[in-house]
A and B are shown apart, each in its own frame.
Chain A
Amino acid sequence: MAGKLVKLLADLKESEAIAFVETALEKGTDAAELLEEAKEGMGIVGQRFSSGEYFIPDLVYSGEILKSVVQLLEPKLKGKQGADTKKLGKVIIATVAGDIHDIGKDLVVFLLDVNGFEVYDLGIDVPVQTIVDKLKETNSPVIGLSGFLTLAFDAMKETIDAIAAAGLRDKVKIMIGGGQIDDQVKNYTGADAYGKDAMEAVKLAKQWIGG
């Protein structure tokens, strides 16, 4: 039976996955084990997305299925959380000040998370200082800044300038992304790289942090 949940999640079988977890819990299967399987399934979803087999709706749907599965597992997991999987490294993600778009940012957070990174999601319209403070607090080696509107060009630049002014620029790699972002915007803002899509954020983080 081992591996069944991995496949159900990877293949986006919502009702079957939920029914499977319910039955398995009734039979006394270890919740932590099921959670590991679910996570493995999510890893496969991420791979299929990066290979072009899956698209954004598949990712979002897999997230919804995982949420339902975790809800079932949670009561049985209490006190058993010790076996935390080792994280690859920390990444701070934020949509910059003035911009409230979250779809792209949420995808990046999701993919970094299923790929094993410890993600600090600061949300949308994040003030420059909040990002600098979080950087100081976590010593995160990577930051991703998101923005959909052209006003984000300046907000990204101001954020990166503030990180430099705080003396932290050489301690962190900065990636940017969003609808109108390209190489020219990367140069303007002083970021280290930009990503065309959410998977590139994972590639960049892996390249910078390793893993």
Chain B
Amino acid sequence: MDKKWEQMTADERQEAMFARWASPKDGQGNDIKFNSPEAEKLFKERCARVKDAIQLKKTPDRVPVWITPSMWPINYAGYKVREAITDYPKVAEAWKKFVLDFDPDMHMGCVGPGSAPFYEKMDYKLFAWAGQGVGDDSSYQAIEGEYMKEDEYDDLIDDPTDFFIHKYLPRVFGVLNPAFSMMPTFTSILEIYGVPLNFIPFALPPVQQAFQAMAEAGAEAMKWAGVAFGFGDEMAAAGYPAMLAGFSKVPFDALGDTLRGMKGVLMDMYRRPEKVLKAVERLTPIMIKMGVNTAKATGFPLIFIPLHKGADSFMSEEQFKKFYWPGFKALIEGLVDGGCIPMPWVEGSWGSRLKIMKDIPKGKTLWMFDQQDMKKAKDIMGSVACIGGNMQSSTIGLGTVDEVKEQTKKLIDACAKGGGYIMCNGAFFDHAKPENLKAMVDVTKEYGVYK
């Protein structure tokens, strides 16, 4: 029998995680039956190609190629976003067509589009989605706000879960308001004395209504997830690995994106810097656990980390070093220790941060860039990390096939030497010419072969 997880080194955990990735299982834990020996061979080759690109130990056979769309496959399959996110098999059908038509090395699952009925049953406030706050054919968009008030830092730091139950969740889900603010403090349920008192809230009509609504929303979530997981199994059988296990957030972004909003968190850096630092510290192990648990549950090592509020212009270098990077670095190290591959999704421009962010364990991370001088990224980070992305939205959406071909070659020339590069678009997109996506994939498969 293999060594116990707890006794493994980080390197051994990563190898074990990659090995699980290359031997996919379905929801019941049974081995996926590949459609053909060829599909199995392709699946394992694709996992090995990406693994080699990430680990920087051995040059892969060629540059891996991914495509990461937002809602684009839905339109490509002839549907409107609203109809697909209410009728889940249409999302799975669209994603399947997308993967099979363009034949990238991996797929990112079809969880992204989400479930409108679920959000609506819960009266979700943090986002607008097609048909609810934005048009019927739009991707979801965040509605930032102060879902945590400026004077609530101590509550969060003191007990994050209790804060989420009593304050945050009722604010972002209409159906949990006021029910969750009436919940007992669960850690006070210790001994027989007074235990029943803690359960009185469950007799109250608003709480009972909320639990009823959650049961219905949960059933909807299960229906939706069944389709999404079924898609993953079907793609695995056809030879396409899923690239992602799940996601986590840089602690400062969890605070800024989700709890305090852009303006709130930026002001807090001036008005209550010590609280921000404490909150970041408190959220760090929670963010690590979130990533490691998803990787363990799915058997995939890559953890998506969308980067937001530390971008070049969003704060000074001094602020980045003080508020953003320490929590980010700790997150990377914690995930790596848990056998995961952190995959920062570097949205916007972060060129001035590269020299700071290169201080990471070698061969254990994957950085996907949006707008970035990739030659510079390779020079600065190439010796410690795999990089990828950067094919511009404008090029795939508006450019000609020749422009895409040329850009693909340019990226390979700038980044691919010795391994450590994955071809991919730079930002999630809803706008693309199919022939351009095809060109990016085909040129990579031809021009990106390592000789």
Contacts and interface: CB of A to CB of B under 8 A. Distances in A.
Interface of A: 12, 14, 55-58, 60-61, 64, 97-101, 103, 125, 149-151, 153-154, 179-185, 187-188, 197
Interface string B274-317: 00000000000000000000000000000000000000011110
Across chains A and B, which 7 residue pairs bring their CB atoms closest together, nearest first?
A: A150-B431, A184-B394, A57-B266, A180-B393, A150-B429, A55-B316, A188-B398
Contacts of B394: 153, 180-185, 188
B427 interface: yes
Q: Which of A12, A97, A101, A149 counts the most B-chain CB atoms under 10 A from its CB?
A: A149
Interface string B117-139: 00000000000100001110111
Chain B interface, >50% SS class = mixed
B397 A56 contact: no
Given A125-B134, A188-B398, A197 B429 contact: no
Interface in B124-162: 128, 133-135, 137-139, 141, 143
A57 B320 CA distance: 11
B351 interface: no
A181 B315 CA distance: 21
B35 to A, nearest CB: 34
A149 B430 contact: yes
B139 A60 contact: no
Task: Classify chain B's interface size.
Answer: 35 or more
B226 interface: no
A185 B397 CA distance: 9
Contacts of A58: 316
B430 A151 contact: yes
A103 B430 contact: no
21 contacts: A12-B270, A14-B271, A55-B314, A55-B315, A55-B319, A57-B314, A57-B319, A61-B267, A97-B135, A99-B141, A100-B133, A150-B393, A150-B431, A151-B431, A153-B431, A179-B347, A180-B394, A184-B394, A184-B398, A185-B398, A188-B398
B430 A150 contact: yes
A57 B262 CA distance: 9
B418 interface: no
Given A55-B319, A98-B134, A153 B143 contact: no
A57 B397 contact: no
B263 interface: yes
Contacts of B392: 180, 182, 184
Nearest to A151: B430
Interface of B: 70, 128, 133-135, 137-139, 141, 143, 262-263, 266-267, 269-271, 313-316, 319, 347-348, 370, 392-395, 397-399, 427, 429-431
Contacts of A151: 137-139, 430-431
Given A153-B397, A180-B393, 16 more contacts: A55-B315, A56-B313, A57-B266, A60-B266, A60-B267, A100-B141, A149-B141, A150-B397, A154-B431, A180-B394, A180-B427, A180-B429, A183-B394, A184-B395, A185-B398, A197-B313
A100 B126 CA distance: 13
B273 to A, nearest CB: 11
A46 B137 CA distance: 38
Contacts of B348: 179
Nearest to A150: B431
A57 B269 contact: yes
Contacts of A14: 270-271
A100 B314 contact: no
A134 B392 CA distance: 33
A109 B399 CA distance: 31
Contacts of A149: 70, 138-139, 141, 430
Contacts of B134: 98, 100, 125
Nearest to A184: B394
Nearest to A179: B348
Contacts of A64: 267
A180 B392 CA distance: 8
B399 A56 contact: no
A197 B349 CA distance: 11
Contacts of A179: 347-348, 370, 427
B133 A56 contact: no
B317 to A, nearest CB: 9
Nearest to A182: B394
B177 to A, nearest CB: 23
A56 B128 contact: no
Given A149-B430, A151-B431, A197-B313, A100 B143 contact: yes
A60 B427 CA distance: 26
Given A150-B397, A153-B398, A56 B430 contact: no
A60 B313 contact: no
B399 A184 contact: yes
B135 A98 contact: yes
A184 to B, nearest CB: 4
Nearest to B69: A150
A59 to B, nearest CB: 9
B141 A61 contact: no
A173 B26 CA distance: 57
B90 to A, nearest CB: 19
B321 to A, nearest CB: 13
Nearest to A101: B141
B325 to A, nearest CB: 15
Q: Which of A100, A101, A154, A183 counts the most B-chain CB atoms under 10 A from its CB?
A: A100
A140 to B, nearest CB: 26
B368 to A, nearest CB: 15
Nearest to B261: A103
A61 B267 CA distance: 6
A108 to B, nearest CB: 13
Nearest to B133: A100
Nearest to B128: A100
Contacts of B370: 179
Contacts of A98: 134-135, 138
Contacts of B431: 150-151, 153-154
Nearest to A154: B431
